[in-house]
Structure 1
Amino acid sequence: MAFVSPLMPDSTGHTWRPFGDNRLMTEGVIYRFRSWKTVPKRHRRFGNDGIWDTFLGDAP
């Protein structure tokens, strides 16, 4: 993460609330991006394996 630190914005000299932890924000963005790629893949796999049919067939 050290190579990214110089690229991150700094809130020094601004009147608004100081920025939070840049590392935490960067990890959050990466986590969301990975999740967005995983959801459609898993939905398709559940459909192909018949998991949705089983689940919805058992639902009241």
Structure 2
Amino acid sequence: MDLDELFPNKPGDPLTQLLKQDLDPLSVEELHARIAALEGEIARIKGKIEAAVNHRASAEALFKK
């Protein structure tokens, strides 16, 4: 799956721009900082997904009674 399939109508989407950024000019330290920032964002997204799943499960349990 390529980026155009994921973000067809969002040419200015920050994620699309991030993925297309040239990494060659970055130093090793900058690359490590980038990885740390992206891992932090991944953790934040996983937390949001978990909260959404838990919220949905709670709502479903409430309405099943």
In the superposition, the TM-score normalised over structure 1's length comes to 0.43
User: Which fold has the larger relative contact order, with Cα–Cα distance below 8 Å and residues 6 or more apart in sequence?
Assistant: 1
Flag the structure with larger Rg: 1
Higher helix share: 2
In the superposition, the TM-score normalised over structure 2's length comes to 0.40
